[in-house]
C-alpha cells in the first residue's frame, strides 16, 4: 500500500515507521522543514523514542519511508491517510482546531477516490462526522462512503514506548459506515502486530466499535478516567498530610484487592493528554461536575506543593529554591502543560529566587522556556522535585549543598541519602 501519515511528531513518526516496517510505502507529511530534512537523512528529529533510530536507519535508505512538506507528494493515490496532527485547547479551555483544520483542508485538496482517511488525534465526540466529513467533501468534491471512507481510530500509546504499546493495546476503530469500519479494520490488521493477552474480553487486535462517536468517546473516557483517578488520589494525599498518614501505604493496601485501582498522587499532571482530553470531553458535556472538579483539583497541585514547602520551611521570601525537572514526565523531553510553570510562578509570587534543573535540557533550552537554569552543586536553600527522572534517584548532598529540606513531589528521592528532611506529597 501507499500510506500517508500527516504529522511527523512523537506519535506520527513512530506510526509511519511501523507501517513502513510492514512492507508498505509510507510518505510522512509535516509543515516543519527541519523535521522533514532530518527524517530524510535517516535520523530521529527528537530524542527518547525506543528503537525509532533503528527503524529510520533501516527504512529510509531502503526507500520505504520518506518525508515531505508537500501534500501533493503524499496524498494523491494513497490507499490510506492517517492524521496525527495536534489538537490544543485555548485559554478558555475550548478546542483549538487551527492546525487540524489546516491539515484537513490540505489533504482534501489532493484527495483521490478510493482512499481510507483515519483520524488518530483525540477529538470531541462528533467531530469526525460533523466537522471533518463536510469539510473534506466540500473541498475534494468526493462523497464519503462512496468515493472515500472516513474513520476515527485513536492513538493509545505513550511517548517513549510507542512500538511496545502498539502491540500491547487493542486498536479501536469507528467508522461513519459499516463499510468504512471494515476497511479500517483490514488496514490496521495489515500494519500492526498484537501481543496475546489473556486478560481481555476478546482477542487482542483491531476492535470495531460500530461508530466514530463510540471510538471518540472511548479515548476521551479512558484518559478522563485517569485524570479523575489522580485527582482522587491527590485529595486523599492532601488529607493524609493533615492526619499524619502515609497515603502511599494506604493506596498499596487498598489496591491489594481487585476492586480498587487508585492511582498515585503527585505534584502535577502534565503532557498533551491527561490535562487536555478532559477539557475536550467537557466541550461535549459541560455539566460533568466530577470531570471539571477533578481537572481543577489536579491543576492546583503545584500551588499545594508550594504551600507545603512553606509549612515545612517557613517563609521562602528571598530563599533560593531549586526545582528539579522541567519535563512533565520522567525520561521524556517534553514540557507540554508541565506543572513546572505554575510551580515556578507560585514560588516567585512568594518571593523565592527560583532556578530549574533538568538533565534532558540545556541551559539555553530552559531559558527559551522562560526558566532560570540551575546547575547541580550550586548552593540552595530548598529543593522541590517535580519530575521523576531516573537520575534524581541518585541525588546526594553534594548535589544540593546548603539545602535545609527537600519536597519530593514524585516519591523518588531516598531519605537514607540525606540528613535533612525529605518531605513527600501525601506523607506527613
Q: From first to last of its 428 residues, what are the pLDDT tens digits of the chain?
A: 999 999 999 999 999 999 999 999 999 999 999 999 999 999 999 988 999 999 999 999 999 999 999 999 999 999 999 999 999 888 777 899 999 999 999 999 999 999 999 999 999 999 999 999 999 999 999 999 999 999 999 999 999 999 999 999 999 999 999 999 999 999 999 999 999 999 999 999 999 999 999 999 999 999 999 999 999 999 999 999 999 999 999 999 999 999 999 999 999 999 989 999 999 999 999 999 999 999 999 999 999 999 999 999 999 999 999 999 999 999 999 999 999 999 999 999 999 999 999 999 999 999 999 999 999 999 999 999 999 999 999 999 999 999 999 999 999 999 999 999 999 999 99
| Phi, psi for residue 317 in degrees, rounded to 5 | -60, 115
Whether 2-210 shares its CATH topology with 211-428 is answered yes
Strand order in the sheet with 422-424: 353-357, 320-324, 382-385, 405-408, 422-424
Residue (of 202, 205, 201) closest to 168 by Cα position:
205
CA distances to 52, 356, 360, 394 from 398, in Å: 36, 17, 20, 11
pLDDT of 209 reads: 98
CATH of domain 211-428: 3.40.50.720
Opening angle at CA 320, ends 319 and 326, nearest 5: 135
Give the max Cα distance, the chain. Answer: 71
| Grid coordinates given for 38 | 532530518
Pair 9, 38: CB distance under 8 Å: no
Q: Which pTM was predicted?
A: 0.94
Residue (of 335, 269, 347, 270) closest to 308 by Cα position:
347
Residues 6+ away with beta carbon under 8 Å from 343: 267, 268, 302, 305, 306, 323, 384, 386
- The Cα–Cα gap between 204 and 324 comes to 39
Cβ-based neighbour number of residue 52 at 10 Å: 21
- The β-bridge partners of 5 are 28, 82
Cell 514560588 belongs to residue: 347
| Phi, psi for residue 261 in degrees, rounded to 5 | -135, 50
DSSP string for 387-425: S--GGGGG--GGGSTT--EEEESSS-S-GGG-SS-EEET
Cβ-based neighbour number of residue 272 at 10 Å: 20
Pair 100, 88: CB distance under 8 Å: no
Residues 6+ away with beta carbon under 8 Å from 116: 79, 80, 81, 148, 149, 151, 180, 183, 184, 187
pLDDT of 90 reads: 82
- The Cα–Cα gap between 308 and 310 comes to 5
- The Cα–Cα gap between 14 and 420 comes to 44
Pair 342, 401: CB distance under 8 Å: no
Task: Determine the 3-state secondary structure of 204 from DSSP.
Answer: coil
Cell 483515519 belongs to residue: 118
Domain ranges of the chain: 2-210, 211-428
Task: Determine the 3-state secondary structure of 68 from DSSP.
Answer: strand
Is the backbone of residue 402 left (phi > 0), alpha (psi -120 to 50) or beta? left
| Grid coordinates given for 411 | 516519591
Helix axes 212-243, 247-254, angle to 10 degrees: 130
| Grid coordinates given for 208 | 470495531
Protein fold of 2-210:
Rossmann fold (3.40.50)
| Grid coordinates given for 116 | 481510507
- Which uninterrupted H or E stretch holds 382? strand 382-385
Residues 6+ away with beta carbon under 8 Å from 418: 397, 406
- The Cα–Cα gap between 222 and 268 comes to 19
Pair 286, 280: CB distance under 8 Å: no
| Grid coordinates given for 118 | 483515519
Residue (of 17, 334, 339) closest to 159 by Cα position:
334
Amino acid at each position: 500500500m501507499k500510506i500517508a501519515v500527516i504529522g511527523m511528531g512523537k506519535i506520527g513518526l513512530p506510526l509511519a515507521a511501523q507501517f513502513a516496517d510492514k512492507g508498505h510505502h509510507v510518505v510522512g507529511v509535516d509543515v516543519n522543514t527541519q523535521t522533514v530534512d532530518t527524517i530524510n537523512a535517516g535520523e530521529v528529529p527528537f530524542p527518547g523514542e525506543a528503537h525509532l533510530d533503528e527503524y529510520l536507519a533501516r527504512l529510509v535508505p531502503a526507500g520505504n519511508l520518506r518525508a515531505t512538506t508537500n501534500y501533493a507528494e503524499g496524498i494523491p493515490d494513497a490507499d490510506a491517510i492517517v492524521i496525527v496532527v495536534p489538537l490544543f485547547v485555548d485559554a478558555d479551555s475550548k478546542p483549538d482546531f487551527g492546525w487540524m483544520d489546516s491539515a484537513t483542508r490540505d489533504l482534501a485538496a489532493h484527495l483521490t477516490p478510493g482512499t481510507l482517511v483515519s483520524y488518530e488525534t483525540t477529538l470531541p465526540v462528533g467531530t469526525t462526522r460533523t466537522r471533518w466529513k463536510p469539510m473534506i467533501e466540500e473541498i475534494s468534491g468526493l462523497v464519503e462512503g462512496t468515493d472515500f471512507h472516513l474513520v476515527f481510530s485513536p492513538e493509545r500509546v505513550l511517548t517513549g514506548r510507542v512500538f511496545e504499546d502498539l502491540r500491547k493495546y487493542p486498536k479501536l476503530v469507528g467508522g461513519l459506515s459499516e463499510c468504512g469500519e471494515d476497511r479500517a479494520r483490514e488496514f490496521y490488521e495489515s500494519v500492526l502486530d498484537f501481543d496475546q493477552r489473556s486478560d481481555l474480553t476478546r482477542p487482542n487486535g483491531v476492535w470495531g466499535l460500530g461508530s466514530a462517536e463510540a471510538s471518540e468517546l472511548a479515548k476521551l473516557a479512558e484518559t478522563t478516567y485517569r485524570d479523575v483517578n489522580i485527582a482522587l488520589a491527590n485529595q486523599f494525599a492532601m488529607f493524609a498530610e493533615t492526619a499524619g498518614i502515609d497515603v502511599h501505604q494506604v493506596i498499596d493496601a487498598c489496591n491489594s484487592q481487585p476492586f480498587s485501582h487508585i492511582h498515585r498522587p503527585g505534584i502535577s499532571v502534565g503532557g498533551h493528554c491527561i490535562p487536555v482530553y478532559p477539557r475536550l470531553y467537557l466541550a461535549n458535556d459541560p455539566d460533568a461536575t466530577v470531570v471539571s472538579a477533578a481537572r481543577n483539583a489536579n491543576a492546583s497541585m503545584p500551588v499545594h506543593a508550594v504551600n507545603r514547602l512553606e509549612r515545612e520551611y517557613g517563609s521562602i521570601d528571598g530563599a533560593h529554591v531549586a526545582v528539579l525537572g522541567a519535563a512533565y514526565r520522567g525520561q521524556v523531553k517534553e514540557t507540554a502543560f508541565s506543572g513546572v510553570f505554575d510551580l515556578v510562578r507560585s514560588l516567585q509570587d512568594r518571593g523565592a529566587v527560583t532556578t530549574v534543573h533538568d538533565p534532558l535540557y540545556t541551559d539555553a533550552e530552559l531559558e527559551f522556556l522562560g526558566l532560570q537554569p540551575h546547575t547541580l552543586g550550586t548552593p540552595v536553600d530548598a529543593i522541590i522535585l517535580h519530575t521523576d527522572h531516573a537520575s534524581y534517584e541518585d541525588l546526594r548532598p553534594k548535589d544540593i549543598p546548603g539545602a535545609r529540606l527537600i519536597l519530593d513531589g514524585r516519591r523518588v528521592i531516598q531519605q537514607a541519602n540525606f540528613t535533612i528532611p525529605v518531605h513527600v506529597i501525601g506523607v506527613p
